[in-house]
Amino acid sequence: MRRVSWFNVTSLTFGLAFLYLPMVVLVVYSFNANKLVTVWAGFSTKWYGELFRNEAFLDAAWVTLRVAVVSSTLATVLGTAAAYVLVRGGRFFGRTLFSGMLYAPLVMPDVILGLSLLLLFIAIGLDRGMITIILAHTTFSMAYVAVVVTSRLVAFDHALEEAARDLGCNRWDAFRLVTLPIIAPAVVSGWLLSFTLSLDDLVIASFTSGPSSTTLPIKIFSAVRLGVSPEINALSAILIGIVTVGVITTSLMSKRAIAKRIRDENRAET
């Protein structure tokens, strides 16, 4: 058994502190009674109450949530279909161009992507609003979903789908009844990843949003330019809590799914 060196422990400690200590400080100061965010004046939850009475933040949060749910769902459907075509489609005319255009948003700067989408919406006469934000977020999130699902489809045993086809299933039924349940963890992971990217996006949304469709990152950025308020700390603490619960829940569901699949395989062997 390899011994853990002090260098590794120290490096890991400093790395985790660099990543998570600012978040811990933010959460602690969200319960600060003082209006000055850097001066501790006692424990209080009044800023959470002020946050839930701030209609501007609530409206922006509602817009962001709707955009994230719709765009991540569309991105998951389109990204899964694109991944299936790339893995199972074999060689077809335009495959290289198709894969290059699909993965282009992964390496393209957000400013370029946002500006190009803005020019497109102006050219086709589409007013900027929630629809344009959804289309923009779907565009770049689809690439991330395709990467996640592709990695799972590459390791998928094609013989299972072929066996379903031999037993009378058509291509759609074989995908729906056999392939999709097996790659479901990857599909869910792709949805969660695109949902998180949509919640976090600022640059692309600033190009494609309209006056009546301000997202939460844009609202926070505009408010921070005038100074950090305790309400922003409270809002950030809530978002950190939601993301933490989501990650833990997804991890537990994934472990249960893997354990169930192992039990089923053991039962089939016996």
Among 39-53, 194-208, 241-255, the minimum mean pLDDT is found in 241-255
Q: Which among 156, 152, 157, 241 has a CA at the least distance from the CA of 189?
A: 152
Instruction: Indicate whether 26 belongs to any domain.
Output: no
DSSP 182-230: HHHHHHHHHHHHHHHHHHH--HHHHHH--TT---HHHHHHHHHTT---H
Q: Looking at residue 234, which CATH number applies to its domain?
A: 1.10.3720.10
Assess contact for 235 and 57: CB atoms under 8 A. Answer: yes
pLDDT 10s digits, 189-241: 889 889 888 988 888 998 998 877 888 888 888 887 777 778 888 888 888 88
| pLDDT at residue 11 greater than cutoff 90 | no
How confident is the model over 8-20, as a mean pLDDT? 86
What percent of the chain is modeled with pLDDT above 70? 96
Q: pTM of whole model > 0.85?
A: no
Assess contact for 71 and 198: CB atoms under 8 A. Answer: yes
How confident is the model over 40-46, as a mean pLDDT? 82
Domain that holds residue 236: 47-269
- Separation of alpha carbons 240 and 133, rounded Å: 23
Burial, 152: exposed, middle or buried (Cβ in 10 Å; 0-12, 13-18, 19+)? Answer: buried
Instruction: Indicate whether 7 belongs to any domain.
Output: no
Distances, alpha carbon 215 to alpha carbons 164, 188, 207, in Å: 45, 24, 12
DSSP 28-46: HHTTBSSSSTTS---B--H
- Which residues lie below 8 Å from residue 205, measured CB to CB, with a gap of 6+? 114, 133, 136, 137, 215, 217, 218
- Separation of alpha carbons 172 and 264, rounded Å: 24
Among 59-63, 124-128, 167-171, the minimum mean pLDDT is found in 167-171
Question: Which of 21-35, 47-61, 125-139 shows the highest mean pLDDT?
Answer: 125-139
Q: How many distinct structural domains can be found in the chain?
A: 1
Instruction: Indicate whether 254 belongs to any domain.
Output: yes
What value does the mean pLDDT of the chain take? 83
Instruction: Indicate whether 29 belongs to any domain.
Output: no
Which pLDDT score, from 0 to 100, does residue 76 have? 93
